[in-house]
């Protein structure tokens, strides 16, 4: 691999050749948007090496095991909503939304810890541990003797869930060839699969082993369905953890290693990925070292305490355009984080006050409709993967349109006066929101450089979770008969769609740094 060496008379920040090692126009963040030109040059070389290897067996296997994280991220919040009525019937808490609040606090803590930690102790540990933590505490929750106990376990299993997307998206993106980065969008098919699986498992358990909601008292022995559901979903998550940990070898991100000054390890992993793909790579340590000026000293012995400083956060705001991109992305996540749960919390009340008809209200109809709505997520994820590569749409256009349409369909769903019309609008809402989340989860990590990608993912996820925490609080104290929260939710989606258009970077056809 040909590499342009630096001029010994110039410091790295003045040496234009470093920034031209592979090319200036083939990356999402243009030259000069990050403050380490040596890392920038090395990242471009790694991009070229991964592109040279191409998409192969290792990345396809990684696609499968990464999809477990996407599935878990949707699976467990769905479980919380599915068991909510049964838990409420059994324990009769004074403030039932505290269960959802506990979950959201756990998701917030997980996003912060695992997201920031991924830039400090690497991607591998978080990748392997998050599913295990989720499975263990999820199954333990089945033995909860009180409402406080199930709330505590919900927070603990959510601590594991909260780390899946910030970490998994980073490690997948950093090992993908640039021309296959759209697969990060397609990964959201795991979301749809999880929703279908959750409803299929919950249907027989909750329908046949739950208290009648009309009863004034509910004993544990006649309400075991939600406990069996936790064991089943926990066991499934444990199986996914086993596949990741025992049946698949996850390699650390080469870009992460280069950012730590561990060039030899980065080169070794690139060659190992090439071997697993039955290819070869011409990358050498000398190619990377050629990017360094004389007497260059990367701080590879930096301590954990120093790592915890705010340098990684400052790196995401170091230029005007990068600061604008980071700020807008955080705001978009925040608006969606509040809008989605607000809709779910208040829609039943506004429909009830308008005299909406839901058919016969039978268990069969309820779960049938849930499965139909969940199934619509499949084409939504695939459509997102297709649309983000269209020249006139790209990531920004697809995300903006799908987010705004989600708000529009939300408004339309409030007009439903029978079961069929409600199902139709909910299917439309499910499709557009599936596209929205698919693109959001793929576009976001592309906007951050690798040394601060975990931190950037953590910041956006934190905004999403903090605003998500507000929804159950509003549900506990607000006037549930008003339509204002639902309309506010729709407005939040529409505003978020407009904000997407203001993002300064488009990642279609470009490699992440």
pLDDT in tens, 480-493: 566 677 788 889 99
pLDDT in tens, 213-260: 667 788 888 899 999 999 999 999 999 999 988 888 888 889 888 888
Is residue 151 a contact partner of residue 97, using CB atoms and an 8 Å limit?
A: no
The torsion angles phi and psi of 340, rounded to 5 degrees, stand at -65, -50
43 domain residue, yes or no? no
Q: What is residue 40's predicted lDDT score, i.e. its pLDDT?
A: 82
Q: What is residue 30's predicted lDDT score, i.e. its pLDDT?
A: 61
Alpha helix segments (H runs only) across 279-393:
285-289, 304-307, 311-315, 320-353, 363-375, 377-387
Over its C-alpha atoms, the chain yields an Rg (Å, rounded) of 24
Helix, strand or coil, per DSSP, at residue 15: coil
pLDDT score of 474 more than 80: no
Q: What is residue 319's predicted lDDT score, i.e. its pLDDT?
A: 86
pLDDT score of 358 more than 50: yes
pLDDT score of 10 more than 50: no
Is residue 113 a contact partner of residue 159, using CB atoms and an 8 Å limit?
A: yes
509 domain residue, yes or no? no
User: CA distances (Å), 12 to each of 78, 183, 272, 321, in order?
Assistant: 50, 35, 30, 22
288 domain residue, yes or no? no
301 domain residue, yes or no? no
What total number of domains does the chain contain?
1
Helix, strand or coil, per DSSP, at residue 511: strand
pLDDT score of 116 more than 90: no
Helix (H) or strand (E) holding 390: none
Q: What is residue 302's predicted lDDT score, i.e. its pLDDT?
A: 40
Helix (H) or strand (E) holding 121: none
216 domain residue, yes or no? yes
The torsion angles phi and psi of 15, rounded to 5 degrees, stand at -90, 105
> What's the average model confidence in pLDDT over 418-444?
89
422 domain residue, yes or no? yes
Q: In terms of pLDDT, which residue wins out, 301 or 263?
A: 263
pLDDT category at 150 given cuts 50, 70, 90 is: very high
180 domain residue, yes or no? yes
CATH of residue 224: 1.20.1250.20
pLDDT score of 1 more than 50: no
370 domain residue, yes or no? yes
pLDDT score of 25 more than 70: no
Domain that holds residue 466: 57-250+317-501
Q: What is residue 199's predicted lDDT score, i.e. its pLDDT?
A: 87
Q: What is residue 349's predicted lDDT score, i.e. its pLDDT?
A: 58
> What's the average model confidence in pLDDT over 420-424?
85
> What's the average model confidence in pLDDT over 396-404?
95
Whether the predicted model's global pTM rises above the 0.85 cut: no
pLDDT in tens, 493-504: 999 999 999 998
Cross-strand partners of 27: 511
* Residue whose C-alpha is closest to residue 155's, from 144, 170, 168, 169: 144
Q: What is residue 325's predicted lDDT score, i.e. its pLDDT?
A: 92
pLDDT in tens, 174-185: 888 888 888 888
Cα 36 to Cα 39: distance, rounded to the nearest angstrom: 5
């Amino acid at each position: 691999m040909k590499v342009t060496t630096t001029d010994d008379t110039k410091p790295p920040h003045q040496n234009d050749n470093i920034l031209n090692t592979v090319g200036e126009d083939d990356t999402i963040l243009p030259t000069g948007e990050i403050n380490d030109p040596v890392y920038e040059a090395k990242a471009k070389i790694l991009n070229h090496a991964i592109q040279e290897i191409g998409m192969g067996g290792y990345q396809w296997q990684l696609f499968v095991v990464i999809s477990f994280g996407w599935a878990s991220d949707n699976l467990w919040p769905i479980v919380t909503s599915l068991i909510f009525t049964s838990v409420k019937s059994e324990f009769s808490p004074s403030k039932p939304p505290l269960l959802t609040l506990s979950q959201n606090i756990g998701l917030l803590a997980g996003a912060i810890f695992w997201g920031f930690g991924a830039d400090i102790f690497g991607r591998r540990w978080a990748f392997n541990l998050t599913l295990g933590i989720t499975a263990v505490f999820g199954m333990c929750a089945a033995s909860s003797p009180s409402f406080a106990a199930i709330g505590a376990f919900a927070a603990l299993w959510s601590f594991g869930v909260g780390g899946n997307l910030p970490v998994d998206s980073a490690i997948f993106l950093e090992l993908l060839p640039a021309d296959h980065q759209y697969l990060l969008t397609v990964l959201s098919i795991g979301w749809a699969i999880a929703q279908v699986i959750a409803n299929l498992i919950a249907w027989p358990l909750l329908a046949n082993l739950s208290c009648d909601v009309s009863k004034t008292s509910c004993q544990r022995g006649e309400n075991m369905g939600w406990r069996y559901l936790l064991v089943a979903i926990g066991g499934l998550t444990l199986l996914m953890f086993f596949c990741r940990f025992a049946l698949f070898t996850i390699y650390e991100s080469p870009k992460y290693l280069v950012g730590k000054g561990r060039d030899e390890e980065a080169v070794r992993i690139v060659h190992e990925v090439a071997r697993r793909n039955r290819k070869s790579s011409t990358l050498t340590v000398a190619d990377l070292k050629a990017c360094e000026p004389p007497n260059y000293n990367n701080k590879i012995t930096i301590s954990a305490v120093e790592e915890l400083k705010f340098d990684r956060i400052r790196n995401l705001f170091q230029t005007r355009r990068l600061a604008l991109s980071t700020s807008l992305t955080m705001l978009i996540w925040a608006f969606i984080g509040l809008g989605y749960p607000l809709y779910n919390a208040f829609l039943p009340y506004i429909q009830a006050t308008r005299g909406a008809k839901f058919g016969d209200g039978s268990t069969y109809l309820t779960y049938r409709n849930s499965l139909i709505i969940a199934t619509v997520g499949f084409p939504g994820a695939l459509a997102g993967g297709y649309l983000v590569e269209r020249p006139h749409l790209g990531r920004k256009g697809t995300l903006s349109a799908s987010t705004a349409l989600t708000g529009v369909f939300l408004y339309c769903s409030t007009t439903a006066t029978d079961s069929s019309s409600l199902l139709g609008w909910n299917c439309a809402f499910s499709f557009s929101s599936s596209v929205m989340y698919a693109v959001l989860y793929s576009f976001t990590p592309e906007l951050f450089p690798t040394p601060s990608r975990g931190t950037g993912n953590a910041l956006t996820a934190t905004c999403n979770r903090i605003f998500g925490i507000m929804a159950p609080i509003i549900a506990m104290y607000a006037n549930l008969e008003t339509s204002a929260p639902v309309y506010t939710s729709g407005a939040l989606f529409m505003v978020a769609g407009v904000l997407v258009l203001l993002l300064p970077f488009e990642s279609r056809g470009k490699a992440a740094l």
